[in-house]
């Protein structure tokens, strides 16, 4: 049995894109540097850091300037999420309750500091999670944050659950198995372990070597 289950957030535990896209577009309109984002475009950025998004969406601006704009987007999105939350994937709370009986549960995400906290507090899920870590806290890539979280909690074995190629790469960097959340935003060609719904995770964990 694996001691820890470490989750990505966007596209794995919830979908907040429809709730926060208007906040991002308000900021982009004020800055007047690019066209508004569509929902599919916005969803394609899930899992990326603000620097990565800036390089794609605002290539005509210096990276520092573009990242500052998306940093402002992230601040404004927290205001929206504190009011409305996001959309949890079906049976999430029940599944987390089952898993937490025998596993250490954590979240590692490329989001800003405050985003995971808002997710946990609005949806009253804090009691299910033992720790979390994000890019906004450490400025480290996801693979290193997974390793850091495992080290500080003395986790000898863990799996990472995510929905993008970046999540797969981070799990590989951390040296732990990856479980692909196929219901999320990304496509992962190498997906030995696949979830079509989060509620399948307890059963799948029993089948892992």
**Cβ–Cβ under 8 Å, residues 181 and 46:** no
Instruction: Provide the CATH number for the domain around residue 10.
Output: 3.40.50.1000
CB neighbour list of residue 192: distance below 8 Å, 6 or more residues apart:
178
- Count the neighbouring beta carbons within 10 Å of the beta carbon of residue 97: 12
Single residue among 30, 52, 84 that ends a domain in this structure: 84
Q: Are residues 134 and 203 in the same domain?
A: yes
Query: 48 lies in which domain range?
Result: 16-84
Distances (CA, A) of 5 to 44, 106, 169: 25, 6, 17
Residue of 90, 63, 87, 76 whose CA lies nearest to 24: 76
**How many whole angstroms separate alpha carbon 193 and alpha carbon 209?**
11
One digit per residue, pLDDT tens: the chain, 209 residues? 899 999 999 999 999 999 999 999 999 999 988 889 999 999 999 878 889 999 999 999 999 999 999 999 999 999 999 999 999 999 999 999 999 999 999 999 999 999 999 999 999 999 999 999 999 999 999 999 999 999 999 999 999 999 999 999 999 999 999 999 999 998 998 778 999 999 999 999 999 98
């Amino acid at each position: 049995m694996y001691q820890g289950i470490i989750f990505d957030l966007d596209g794995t535990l919830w979908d907040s894109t429809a709730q926060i896209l208007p906040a991002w577009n308000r900021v982009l309109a004020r800055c007047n540097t690019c066209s508004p984002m569509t929902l599919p475009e916005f969803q394609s950025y899930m899992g990326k850091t603000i620097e990565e998004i800036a390089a794609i969406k605002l290539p005509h601006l210096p990276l520092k300037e573009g990242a500052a704009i998306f940093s402002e987007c992230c601040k404004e999105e927290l205001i929206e999420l504190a009011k409305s939350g996001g959309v949890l994937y079906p049976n999430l709370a029940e599944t987390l309750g089952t898993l937490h009986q025998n596993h250490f549960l954590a979240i590692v995400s490329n989001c800003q500091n405050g985003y995971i906290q808002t997710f946990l507090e609005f949806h009253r899920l804090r009691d299910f999670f033992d720790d979390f870590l994000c890019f906004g806290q450490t400025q480290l890539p996801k693979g290193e944050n997974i390793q850091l979280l495992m080290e500080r909690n003395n986790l000898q074995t863990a799996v990472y659950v995510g929905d993008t190629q970046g999540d797969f790469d981070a799990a590989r960097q951390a040296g732990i198995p990856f479980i692909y959340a196929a219901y999320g935003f990304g496509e992962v060609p190498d997906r030995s372990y696949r979830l079509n719904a989060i509620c399948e995770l307890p059963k799948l964990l029993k089948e892992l070597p």
